Structure 1
Amino acid sequence: MSKAPGKKSILASFAAYTAPPGPAPEKEQPREPSAPLARVGAGVVGATQRSIAELRAERDELKALVEAGTGRELDPAVIDPSPFPDRLPDDDQTSFESFKALIASEGQIVPILVRPSPGNPDRYQVIYGHRRLRAARELGLNVKATVTEFDDRELAIAQGIENAARQDLSWIEKALFAARMDAAGVKARDIRSALSIDDPELARYRAVCRAIPEDIIQTIGRAPKAGRTRWASFAKACADDAALDRTRETLAAAKVQDSDRRFVLALEAATAKEKPEQTDLALRNSAGRTLGRAQFSRREIKLTIETKEAASFSDFLQNELPSLVERYYAEKDA
């Protein structure tokens, strides 16, 4: 949206401000004030001057970074992902296909931002513009790119600011982004700057990503409706190996495309109470003849057969097991 005519940004107003010329004010005659006059302290003036100086310095730094970038067209094949991935796969590819069709018909208007790949001057890393890069790659087109020299700190902050402007990262995607910056040694203050968060929120990101293995997060996906509170509950439920095992088994068996639904299934699995083990079951028929005993646990079934029945029951079980397996899967998948 364009600014209204005649209006300036706060930064421009600060930068352009100068005191108007004019004669020195005449000295007023002493008079008895009717009430004490408010005064602006020297500390306030000093703070204002420092604020203006900081704004000017930030403006000059950003201007220098922009001017340092160079525009060109690049082959997508020489561009690698950001070292700090911040996206999980989308549930629905419809929006991307529409975006790609727009690029195909209208061309790429806004360039992506890349930096030379550290240690390999013939390659680049994308800072932001992953969807534009993917569209160009799938369409077989070169991608318009602005090349700038960013270190890891600057890359992470620029990537985070661009994502914050779009405001479409889910809570867990932000948490993963923070975890990956943590793992790369990015300082906490720079992670906070990149994501526009405070210390408590960064602590929550870290706690969730420590408790929930990344393979489970990746399997669940973006889960845009599952916010901080529900992810924190899930992390608390994943405190033991049994909960993680249940969660993985549930997700592996789930045949749902929606990541929010996968999150619900994972949360239910992690918080479910263990079924009581039926450790000892007598195997006898209706007439009371005893064949043996069965012991059940989560991971094994143990049969103990009476000695006189062992050989014949072994032959019987070997013949019956294939059809029993077929019945099991038929009922399980029904």
Structure 2
Amino acid sequence: MARNIFNNGNQDTGKTPPQDSGLIADKLPSLAILKAASVQEKLLDTSLIDEWGPEDRLSETDLTAVKSQGGDADLTAVKSPDPTDDDSLVALIGSIETSGQSTPIEVRPSTEDPGRYQIICGRRRLAACRVLGIQVNARIQTLTDEQTLLRKGLENSNRRARSFYENAIFAQAIENAGYSRSVAAKALGGKSHASMSQLLRVGSAIPYSVGGLIGSAPQSGRPKWDKLATAFIDETLDEKTAIKRLKDMQGLSSDQRLERLIASLVEKQPQVIRKAPHGATIKAGQGALSISIKRTGANAKFADWLNGNIDRVIEKAHQEFEAVKEEQEE
């Protein structure tokens, strides 16, 4: 039987609720969402429940495998296909098997397929019941897409505080789904405009495959993630290189992986020396590029000429560089 969870017992006192009783609920998104929804609890077959909306959590098994399709192209973070690879989920499975499911999951009737449901909160409890082959106790609410998104974000933030990076990818996923920044801010608990800008900068700049291999890094705040984002924006680090470095760090904690990757940005790179035409030698290091020509033999006259014309040669080369750069940016 459906019940209104905002029924506060006024019918027992005979008092009439005041006309402005909804003001507090209207100011608090989580209360406003619940106020508008009727709730029904029942056991559901897990096969009737589908995924919905962006995820807001990373786990060690969610995003630590990377696949490559077509050689080095399309490097994408993927989830582990086996839920029992997650030790904490194994513990949850054992708890439900022994003591039953203490807290219902939250679902809504599917907006696409009548008779089916979409998960709002409780994906891990749903996964555990699927492994056990039992029905899942579910709280069913009829919510709009926006209400569902806000409910998901607010409930999950109460369960465990999201790390800065988890907030970043959640904010980015909400925006990618076509919602406004104000909706994303509400789903994240009322973030300011400046905070949202910082989150979206990190969420958009750091490839999902790289962030997944790092993990949630719960002890690491905005400065570290922003430094990594800047490296991708400035193109001092690319996705392929980051993934290669991170694959050697899987024995470390998530926060350690982030710190190690950031540290690798300033590690001294070996100098590369190569021979060029007409007796020139090019030395390319992390901080400088140099060209030298020995003033001996057949190259002596060319070295003298280049010494007298080097400013003009560099200026002409720079003009060519700017022309190519402009073409690439169009």
| TM beyond 0.5 | yes
C-alpha change, 1:195 and 1:51, in structure 2 (3 Å) is farther
Structure 1, residues 11-40: CA drift from partner, whole Å, max 9, x if none?
999xx9x9xxxxxxxxxxxxxxxxxxxxxx
More deviation in 262-271 or 195-204?
Answer: 262-271
Q: Distance in 2 between matches of 1:260 and 1:140?
A: 36
Any conservation in 1 of the 2:166–2:216 contact (CA below 8 Å)? yes
8 Å contact from structure 1 (residues 243, 271) kept in 2: no
Matched-pair contact (CA < 8 Å) for 2:171–2:203: no
- Partner of residue 180, structure 2: 187
SS of match in other structure, 1:125: strand
Deviations 1:196-217 (A, max 9, x none): 1111111111011121111111
Q: CA–CA distance in 1 between the matches of 2:231 and 2:148?
A: 35
2:200 to 202, 206, 214: 206
Aligned partner of 1:220 in structure 2 is 214
Q: Percent identity?
A: 29
Q: Quote how far apart the aligned CAs of 1:172 are.
A: 0.7
Shift in Å, 1:131: 1.6
1:71/1:152 CA distance change after superposition, 3 Å: same
**Correspondent of 2:231 among 220, 226, 237:** 237
Shift of 1:51: 7.4
Equivalent residue number for residue 25 of structure 1? none
Secondary structure at 1:121's aligned position in 2? coil
Report the Cα offset of residue 93 of structure 1. 3.7
Q: Which residue of 2 aligns with 1:174?
A: 167
User: Does the CA-based 8 Å contact 1:113-1:129 persist in structure 2?
Assistant: yes
State the match for 1:120 in structure 2.
Answer: 113
Equivalent AA in structure 1 for residue 24 of structure 2:
L
Q: Secondary structure at the match of 2:233?
A: coil
- Whether contact under 8 Å (1:246, 1:270) holds in the other structure is no
Q: Is the 8 A contact 2:33 2:147 kept in 1?
A: no
User: How has the CA–CA distance of structure 1 residues 105 and 172 changed in structure 2, closer, same or farther, with 3 Å as cutoff?
Assistant: same
Match of 2:45 among 68, 75, 90: 75
Higher alpha-carbon Rg: 1
Question: 1:152 touches 1:186 (CA, 8 Å); kept in 2?
Answer: no
Instruction: Name whichever of 120-129 and 191-200 sits farther off.
Output: 120-129
**Under a length normalisation based on structure 1, what TM-score does the superposition of the two structures give?**
0.63
Q: What is the distance in 2 between the residues matched to 1:295 and 1:249?
A: 27
Q: Which residue of 1 aligns with 2:320?
A: none
Q: Is the 8 A contact 2:164 2:221 kept in 1?
A: yes
* Larger RCO (CA under 8 A, 6+ residues apart): 2
The answer to which of 119-128 and 236-245 deviates more is 236-245
| Rounded Cα–Cα distance in structure 1 between residues aligned with 2:25 and 2:114 | 33
Task: Give the match for residue 292 of structure 2.
Answer: none
Tell me whether 1:54 sits opposite 2:23 in the alignment: yes
Distance in 2, matches of 1:228 and 1:216, equals 16
Question: Of residues 89, 98, 119 in structure 1, which corresponds to 2:91?
Answer: 98
Tell me the distance in 1 between the aligned counterparts of 2:25 and 2:236: 56
Count of matched residue positions in the alignment of Structure 1 and Structure 2: 242
CA shift in 2, pair 1:185/1:12, >3 Å: farther
Q: Which amino acid aligns with 2:95?
A: L
> 2:259 matched to 1:264?
yes
Residues 171 and 228 of structure 1 are in contact (CA less than 8 Å); yes or no, is this contact kept in structure 2? yes
Gaps of 5+ in 2: 1-7, 62-84, 286-330
- Report the secondary structure of 1:243's partner residue: coil
Where does the alignment leave 5 or more consecutive residues of structure 1 unmatched?
Answer: 1-10, 19-48, 282-293, 299-334
